[in-house]
Amino acid sequence: MHEQDISEFKLKRSKNPWQRPKEKEKKLSKEERKTAELYRNVVAILNKITPQKFKILVKQFMGLNIDTSERLEGAVDRIVEKAICEPMYSVAYANLSRCLFSIKVADAEGNDVSFRKLFMNRCQKEFEREKEDEKAFAEKIKQLEGLSEEEKKAKKEKMDEAIAKNKKRMLANIRFIGELFKLRLLTENIMHDCVFKLLRAGDEESLESMCMLLFIIGEDLDSDKAKPRMEQYFDQINRIIAAKKISSRVIFKLRDVIELRQNKWLSRREENFYPKTIDRIHKEAQIEKMLEQRSTGQLPAKNNKHKKVRPGGRDYSKPTSNDGWIATGKGGMSFPIHQNKLRNMAKRANNEEISVGPSGRFGQWGRGNSAGLKNSSQEQDQPQANRFSALSSGGGGGDMPSNRPYDPRRSNSAGSRPSSGGSRGSDKSR
């Protein structure tokens, strides 16, 4: 039974199943096969294009056999579509288009058809496509009136997805047009017409596209010759902001454009508009690593390959552990001791008088604060005597000097022993 069920089971085939390109080309004529192969090579080159491999791929593109106006128009369509689908590489596609502007072919009637003319017509058609899309969306909204709530919800979700794709496509096209103008492939009058049309439309999508365009080409448009036009644009922008009929997100974008112009078109932050080369990525990674080492104290000294760094010196960096704490060793720094310096110190000590013990001021602590304050001036005038002068006299049983003040704690220190010493002697004699 199980084997019979498997044999009777059949897969459902779609109307347009995927086929290999060679299988599709079997049904085509010889010229159509050449055209399909050409388009496949064009797409392959566009998929590989990067700032690093740009020159090599331009040579490969120039070597393609584009000999008819239909093939040239197909190549133009694929370049524009690729630039709109990948706005991050709009600069590379704009530079590629500039390199291909010299291509010319003859049509069926023998007239010359240039890449430049076809390219400009295609960009203009893409820019004016917004109005056609708006009309199509308006008709679809009218068709939702007679449907149920579930059907309305399903179709509305599809419409919202289509509107989002259309908006993304329009912004990418505006960005590509701006990059073409920066390369002087489009005239200034064309760009002013684009800004005026977007500003006159007044809807959020058009205003957002205008902000994107001014972010890219605002500095080039804001010349002395075009200053009256720019003043009109920004007066209208201020009116739109004051009316507050659009969302806060678009209002903030318009304010960013005004602030950018006030700052002489110098952005406060580096916009991540363009792709980076491999060399630039390596350089930025090296700079980031150096900054990280500097923050943790592990940055090596500059140009110190042949320089000896003394521990504790200016260029010395203490080793740090993985958690960022500075690890200090058990032993301190060792410095050499010169014997000649010790000998000089010994000679200097023999020549000078050394007083050992506390000074006279500290000896008067037992007499209270009042005595110390009253006699402070007297002690400064009196010379401090050597405390061991009584021992050098040879007797050991002499009296205290007359000029020393009486201190009950030192009454028996320099004179005779207490009476207990005599009793010990008397006991021995007994």
CATH number at residue 197: 1.25.40.180
Domain boundary among 84, 106, 121: 121
pLDDT value for 15: 82
pLDDT band at 390 (very low <50, low <70, confident <90, very high): low
In terms of average pLDDT, the best of 46-55, 269-278, 395-404 is 46-55
How far apart CA 66 and CA 113 sit, in angstroms, is 12
Handedness of CA 223, 229, 235, 238 (dihedral sign): negative
pLDDT value for 94: 92
Alpha helices in 86-114 (DSSP H): 90-99
pLDDT reading at 50 higher than 60: yes
pLDDT band at 130 (very low <50, low <70, confident <90, very high): confident
Report which of residues 100 and 403 the model is more confident about: 100
Show the tokens assigned to 369.
């604060």
Least confident of 207-211, 291-295, 392-396: 392-396
Least confident of 145-149, 202-206, 253-257: 145-149
Residue 276 lies in a domain: yes
Q: Are residues 198 and 116 in the same domain?
A: no
Residue 374 lies in a domain: no
Residue 56 lies in a domain: yes
The per-residue pLDDT for range 276-288, each reduced to its tens digit, is 677 778 888 888 8
Residue 201 lies in a domain: yes
Mean pLDDT score across all residues of the chain: 75
Q: Are residues 111 and 198 in the same domain?
A: no
Give me the residues paired with residue 393 across strands.
Answer: none
With CA atoms as reference, report the closest residue to 82 among 39, 121, 124.
39
Residue 379 lies in a domain: no
The per-residue pLDDT for range 85-106, each reduced to its tens digit, is 988 888 899 999 999 998 998 8
pLDDT value for 250: 92
Domain boundary among 63, 98, 121: 121
Residue 247 lies in a domain: yes
Give how many domains the chain has, as a whole number: 2
pLDDT value for 325: 57
Least confident of 29-38, 44-53, 235-244, 322-331: 322-331
Residue 137 lies in a domain: no
pLDDT band at 428 (very low <50, low <70, confident <90, very high): very low
Domain boundary among 290, 322, 340: 290
How far apart CA 212 and CA 217 sit, in angstroms, is 9
Taking residues 413-425, what's their average pLDDT? 46
Q: Are residues 113 and 29 in the same domain?
A: yes
CA torsion 75-76-80-82 (nearest 10°) is 10
pLDDT band at 419 (very low <50, low <70, confident <90, very high): very low
How far apart CA 61 and CA 93 sit, in angstroms, is 12
Q: Report the half-sphere exposure of 241 (CA within 13 A, side-chain side).
A: 15
How far apart CA 179 and CA 92 sit, in angstroms, is 9
Give me the residues paired with residue 114 across strands.
Answer: 104
pLDDT value for 335: 55
Secondary structure class of 112 (helix, strand, coil): strand
List the domain range (segments joined by +) for residue 205.
Answer: 188-290
Neighbours of 147 (CB within 10 A): 13
Residue 67 lies in a domain: yes
